[in-house]
Amino acid sequence: MCSSRFLSGIASSSMVCRCTSALQSLSKVRDFLEIPIAVENVSSYAEFHVSEMTEWEFLTEVVESADCGILLDVNNIYVSSRNHNFDPDDYVDGVPAERVAQIHIAGHSKFEKYILDTHDHPVIDPVWKLYARAVELVGRTATLLEWDDNIPSFAEVHNEALKANRFIPEMAVAS
């Protein structure tokens, strides 16, 4: 299976083939169950100088080759961009919008030398900005707020999730 152990490794043509092969095996399951398959972009913490492509180019190659969708995690994009010093808008702009099946948002933890995708804080403004850009490119799609630790009251989590409506044009007008 093409998991984060593949997607967070060396971004190369041979790794694309490994992931594509695994996902094509899953296509039999997809066809049998008649459900779509999508992969999530990961947050990364190490770069490999032998990588042949950017994370978003790699993700695009995998999903195009395997003919599957993307769970676009904009917090993961933000985390990786801060850890590796690239423009997160380049990532969002570089993903095939027609393949995005769902968008994920979350909070993270900032440490001295890196940011870690921890799902234990509210979504910060730069991640909301990325979400707005993603919605602009992808259109209205399902959004999931991930909050797995230090979980506050239901009301607080619910209010955080409802903030996503501000970035969906037809919802922003109704608010």
d(CA 32, CA 34): 6
User: In 3-state terms, what secondary structure has residue 119?
Assistant: coil
pLDDT of residue 2: 39
pLDDT of residue 146: 94
CATH number of residue 24's parent domain: 3.20.20.150
pLDDT of residue 99: 96
Measure the CA angle with vertex 63, ends 142 and 131; round to 5°. 35
| Number of structural domains found in the chain | 1
* Mean pLDDT (10-residue bins), the chain, 175 residues: 44 66 72 87 81 87 86 97 96 97 95 92 96 94 93 94 86 50
Q: How many CB atoms lie within 10 A of CB 69?
A: 18
pLDDT of residue 124: 96
E-strand stretches of the chain: 38-40, 69-73, 100-106, 109-110, 115-116, 142-146
pLDDT of residue 60: 92
Q: Where in the sequence is the domain holding 26, given as residue range(s)?
A: 4-174
